Amino acid sequence: MNTPFRLDDHPRRPYPLAPPPASYFEQLPRRVMDRVQPTDPAAPALSWLGRLPLPLRTALASVLLLGGFAASLVLSSTPTSASATLAAVPQEELVQYLLANDSRVTLADLADVSVTAPATAASYLHASPEELERALDAQPTDDSYL
């Protein structure tokens, strides 16, 4: 069981508090900095960086950051594009993949492809006449051309 806490049982500090010693706040920053400063004067390897002016350090940091980004971009990019990689896959493998899939490739799926070789579509497209009719009927018509 906790003992009850009563504020009246604890003595208060005398009011007003004693004033700080003379020039205490003027000496406080120097005392803090003396405690924080390392006592060993051995200079680290990059001590020259601290002696540079602030605008030059900022420019150096931005150049290093942009240079690192550009280097990572150049090193990670491959010279071949996605379309070149897809073009390297043999046509027979693509057809076998599409035929092995449970869902059939419809004409609407092929219409979404912006770059298709006409010979590829004619030789590998196995569409039924009903599917062709449905795809043509689904196309929007503009009355201004009629």
Tokens matching residue 48: 């020259």
Torsion, CA 75, CA 78, CA 82, CA 84, rounded to 10? 170
Residue 59 has pLDDT above 80, yes or no: yes
Pair 95, 124: CB distance under 8 Å: yes
3-state secondary structure of 57: helix
146 Cα distance to chain centroid? 51
56 Cα distance to chain centroid? 28
Please give the helix or strand (H or E) that residue 67 lies within, else none: helix 54-76
Domain ranges of the chain: 91-138
For the segment 57-82, the average pLDDT, to the nearest whole number, is 87
**79-129 confidence digits (pLDDT tens):** 666 777 778 888 888 878 877 776 676 667 766 655 545 555 566 667 788
pLDDT tier, 14 (very low <50, low <70, confident <90, very high otherwise): confident
Mean pLDDT of the residues in the chain: 79
Taking alpha carbons only, the member of 74, 129, 76, 92 closest to residue 107 is: 129
Residue 41 has pLDDT above 70, yes or no: no
